Copies of this chain bind each other. A is one copy, B any other.
């Protein structure tokens, strides 16, 4: 049984998703969005670090997955701010002894929707189907779920629903 934590860092909202699975199938343990309140970057880094630490404590994962930061071009200022966030999220995993892995968007799309050029909606529908969810998860959580699901798939976990899903938190 492997547990994977997917994280999608964002300046206002960081999505996360915890999945667990084995050769029989996989299930969603929790997904949600971590929000920060203050206007100060430094304080926000502290908030996100503590919240990721709390998720790791509650559902100890074997692997944490982030999107490859070099995969897409965005505004330099945003990229640098995101890299600060990513630094402290990575640190939370390292300090808990959790392996950190990065995946390109194309690798995620290939694994979940059969093509590296699949659209966002197509990937979201795949996630809902593969996990047997009745609804499509909200954007941030969906991206985090896609990362975790791909990491599990690469470790031999079957991409089909098993057991009962926990409720998602707002």
Residues of A at the B interface (CB closer than 8 Å) are: 41-43, 45-46, 49, 69-70, 76-77, 79-81, 83-88, 90-91, 93-95, 100
Contact = CB atoms under 8 A, between A and B. Distances in A.
Contacts of A69: 80
Copies of this chain, whole number: 2
Identify which of A69, A88, A95, A100 gathers the most chain B CB atoms within 10 Å of its CB: A88
B91 A45 contact: yes
Contacts of A43: 94
B80 A45 contact: no
A95 B46 contact: yes
What DSSP secondary structure best describes chain A's contact surface? helix
A84 B88 CA distance: 7
A87 B83 contact: yes
Given A76-B79, A79-B76, A83-B80, A91 B90 contact: no
A105 B42 CA distance: 20
A80 B81 CA distance: 9
A41 B91 CA distance: 10
A144 B79 CA distance: 25
A146 to B, nearest CB: 21
A95 B45 CA distance: 10
Contacts of A100: 42
Contact of A46 (B70, B81, B84, B91): B91
A45 to B, nearest CB: 5
A42 B94 contact: yes
Contacts of A83: 79-81, 83-84, 87
